[in-house]
Amino acid sequence: MFSKVFSGAVHGIESRIVTVEADISDGLPVFDLVGYLGSEVREARERVRISLKNSGYRLPAKRITINLSPADMRKEGTAFDLPIAVSVLVSLGFLTEESLEGTLFIGELSLNGEIKKVNGVLPIVYMAYEQGFKRCIVPACNVREGAVVQGIEVYGAENLVQLAGFLKGSPMIDPCVLKEEELKPGKEPYEVDFSDIVGQELAKRAIEIAACGMHNILLIGPPGSGKTMLAKRIPTILPELSFEESLEISKIYSVSGLLDNNQSLIRNRPFRSPHHTITTTALTGGGRFPMPGEISLAHLGVLFLDEFPEFNRNTIEILRQPLEENEITITRLNGTYRYPANLMLCAAMNPCNCGYYPDRNKCRCSLSQVRHYLGKISRPLLDRIDISIEVPQTDYRELKKQEKGETSASIRERIKLARELQYVRYEKENIQFNSQLSAKMLAVYCKLEKEEEKIMEEAYNRLHLSARAYHRILKVARTIADLEGEERINAKHLTEAVCYRSMDKKYWE
């Protein structure tokens, strides 16, 4: 007897329908799996057979053939165990085809019939909703993750016996329905706040500008000056996630297996801080079974690279394309994978090996040692960083002050207002932030008067700027003007933006 069951496969962070076809006929007792399968899927043969036996279903001595379609797409992972088992039960007559109408199945089976957690449930359920399915059967551990998608019923099954009873009509499983407050992102409180930081007003100002326009920023200063403290507080001043943004981030974390059992959504903007020993694959994504890397896990949030020059040069040079394109493309033998990478890069570094250059009272590095250390960061990569700012040692008298600085909440309100200006301005464009302006758009949204043109010409020639650096100054100036509520870029906005580009000249030349 022939049967057909629907499942889904993750490709990048998107999903595709996979049809599991089963045929049981007379012949030698064989259990065959076909359809361009990875090793985990081929191993499903034994898992499904023993799981069915331990759930009370004995397979007859017949020829069982399972096909996973489309046959030209490679199938990886263990999420096909459950749909394979269900297709066999339908072919054997234990379940009816009518009971499976409009249903998609995902799940891994253990040998005792238990349905175990799998990765990528959220994007698969979302794809099922878009394709018009009525319900999804997922592992009980994944049910809250899948229930985020509205408009489709999501059931969590614990084992095969429970699932078979449910499909026969027994009300053993209820659809998971999340409370309204569970679907609202931005409700998780932060443990840190900008008011914790003493002094460093210039650095705070630069970070506020960077957060407002999603500009990349580089913090340079001696050890213990507060670079890491400042970076860790950037998410606290970014506007709260919208539901669509939260869903987009949650898809990435679902595919990566980073959503907890009781977690339905990523509720705050990501802050990823990988160690400088990270490999290229871990940063960009990919691997034998392609997965998102740290760049994509920081999507719509912050990627913080502390001790920037200590990263492997080949690793950080990979950042060039994602910082320009806001996505990363990975091509492998089995296909091409695209992962989103619309993030704010924050890098921190010491100016030399000992960390105290150019203070010659403390620094004992030779000029050649300093050049070698700074030379680990290439000019093309520096060109992609919009703002560079020094973070000096905090004065003792400032350190002992009991006054609290400005809170993250008040800074966030200013950033919200400035971002609203950007959303309205770029409503007809395919961008959201000033940092995403193309050269063509700059001519429209960053027009300069004669005085400002003269300032830019002088800065361009004196600082030996590249065309990319010139464009990034204009983008930063546009953001500063938005923070001030100004429609036109003025001279003061340009001069401040130029100052944020002059720091790399101080150190690298």
3-class SS letters over 357-394? CCCCCCCCCCHHHHHHHHCCCCHHHHHCCCEEEECCCC
| Domain final residue pick, 110, 145, 178 | 178
| Mean pLDDT, residues 102-129 taken together | 95
CA distance 472 to 438: 10
Q: 338 lies in a domain?
A: yes
The answer on 339 and 452 residing in a single domain is: no
Note whether 68 and 33 are within 8 A (CB): yes
CA distance 268 to 362: 41
Q: 209 lies in a domain?
A: yes
Q: What is the CATH number of the domain that holds 271?
A: 3.40.50.300
| Domain final residue pick, 178, 202, 222 | 178
Q: How many Å separate Cα 225 from the centre of its chain?
A: 29
Q: What is the CATH number of the domain that holds 9?
A: 3.30.230.10
The pLDDT value recorded for residue 505 is 72
Q: Tell me which of 108-112, 199-203, 309-313, 422-426 is least confident.
A: 199-203
Higher pLDDT pick, 474 / 360: 474
Provide the token pair at 7: 């499942």
The answer on 443 and 404 residing in a single domain is: no
The answer on 441 and 425 residing in a single domain is: no
The answer on 130 and 31 residing in a single domain is: yes
The structural domain count of the chain equals: 3
The pLDDT value recorded for residue 269 is 93
Residue 106 has pLDDT above 70, yes or no: yes
The answer on 461 and 340 residing in a single domain is: no
Residue 463 has pLDDT above 90, yes or no: no
The pLDDT value recorded for residue 196 is 87
* Structure confidence by residue, pLDDT tens digits, 204-259: 999 999 999 999 999 999 998 889 999 999 999 999 999 999 999 999 999 999 98
Classify the phi-psi angles of 285: left when phi > 0, otherwise alpha if psi is within -120 to 50, otherwise beta.
Answer: left
The pLDDT value recorded for residue 273 is 96
* Structure confidence by residue, pLDDT tens digits, 136-147: 999 999 999 999
The pLDDT value recorded for residue 128 is 96
Q: How confident is the model at residue 187 (pLDDT cuts 50, 70, 90)?
A: low
Domain assignment of residue 36, given as a range:
2-178
The answer on 403 and 295 residing in a single domain is: yes
| Domain final residue pick, 394, 410, 430 | 430
Measuring CA to CA, which residue among 264, 10, 232, 21 is closest to residue 124?
A: 10
Residue 509 has pLDDT above 70, yes or no: no
CA distance 421 to 436: 15
Q: 63 lies in a domain?
A: yes
The answer on 395 and 299 residing in a single domain is: yes
The answer on 472 and 454 residing in a single domain is: yes
Q: 257 lies in a domain?
A: no
Residue 84 has pLDDT above 80, yes or no: yes
Q: Rg (Cα) of the chain, in Å, rounded?
A: 28
Residue 318 has pLDDT above 70, yes or no: yes
